Structure 1
C-alpha cells in the first residue's frame, strides 16, 4: 500500500533533516576543525617567538581561515543538500553567502580577544615586576559567555544566506532567529574543544577531543536550524 501525501511529505522532510544535520556536522568538522588546528599549530610553533603582536597576525589568519575553511566548506556541504528541494539555488551564491557571513562573524569574534591580548601583553612587557596578574575566568563562565556570543553572531553568520534564501522560500527571515538559537547552544562546544585540547596537549588525543567537540557543534547547529529549514522548504517560491 502506497504512502499518503502527508506520509510522503513527512518522509521527505525526515530524510532532508538527517542529511542537513550530517552536512553541517561534517562541514564544521572539516571547516571549523581545520581552522582551529591550523591556528593552534601557529600558536604552538610561533607564538612565544613573536610575542603579543603575534595575536594580530593570528587574528588575521583566523578570519582568513574561517572564511575559506568554515565558510566555503560548510556552504558547499549545505548546498549539496539544498540543491534537491531548491533546484534553482546556485552553488556559487550559497557558498559565497556562507563564506561572507563566516568571515564577518570571525572578524567580530576575534577583535575583542585580540585587543585584550595586546593590552595585557603590553602591560607585562612594560613592567613585568608590577604587572597585575589577570586570572583566566572559570571554564563555566567562558562557556556561558560563548553562548551569548553565539546568540549575537548566529544572525551574522546567517545574514548573507537570508539574502539568497529569500529569493527561494517564503518567510526567509526566520533563518535569522533560527541561527541565533542554534549558535547560542553550539558555540560553547567550539570553545570547549580548544580548551580541552590545550589541557591534554596538541597530540592525537587532544586533536581527537577538539574534532569531536566541533563535530558535535556542527550537528547541534544543523539539528536546531534544520528544524526551521524543513518548514521553510515547504513553501518554496520556485514552485
Structure 2
C-alpha cells in the first residue's frame, strides 16, 4: 500500500512541477556543426510540428522517449539541422514501439523505438549513432553533450536551428540525494543516468525530450525529465533514461525489425 502511495505522490509531484520535458530547449549551447550529429531526428506530430528529439540508431529505427508518443500519427525528419529546410524526402512515417513497461515518466522506462516506414537513406547528411555497450561504465564528470531544437532561455522563443551543449555526468547516488532533498522529495525511477543541470549552467530545459546524451561518440542516454520549466541552473541534475539497461530489448526489436 505504501509503495503504491509513494508512486502516486511521485507522479503527482512530477506533474505539478512540470517535469515532463516536452518541447526542446538547449541552455547555454551553441549552433551545432552541420557536419556533426547526423543522427539527430525531429519527431513531429501529424501537423508537421516538432514535438521531441530523437536519434537514428539503425537504418530502420529512431530512438526517443516514450512520453513523446502522440495520440495521432507521427513522423520523423532526418538529414537537416534547420527545421525550416525540410522536404518530403527527409520525412518518414513511423510505427511506435513503446517499451512495454512504460506507464509514466515518474515510473521510468521512458524509452521508445520508432520504426521508419522505409529505410533511411544514409549519406553525408544522415548517419546513425552507435549505442553504448553494456560493459562500458561512464565515469563521473565525463564530458558528454546533448542536442536539440528550441529556445535558449526560460520562456524564450523556439529556434529552428539545432544546438548542442556540453554536460558533465553526475554521480547517480549524488543525483538521487539531490532529487530526494526537500522540498523536492522525489525518488528517481530505476535505470536512469544524470548529467548537467546541477553545478553547471548547461543542460536541457522542458525539453529535448527523446534526444540523445552522447559520450565518446556513443549514445548513452535518452532525455527524460528535469525540474520545473525554469532553466536557471543549477538546481538538480537532468535525468536521462539509461540506454545500457535496455540493450536486450532494443537489439531484439532491431533484429526482428518489428515491435
Q: Same fold (TM over 0.5)?
A: no
Q: Which has the higher strand share?
A: 2
Q: TM-score, normalised by structure 1?
A: 0.28
Q: Which has the higher helix share?
A: 1
Q: TM-score, normalised by structure 2?
A: 0.27
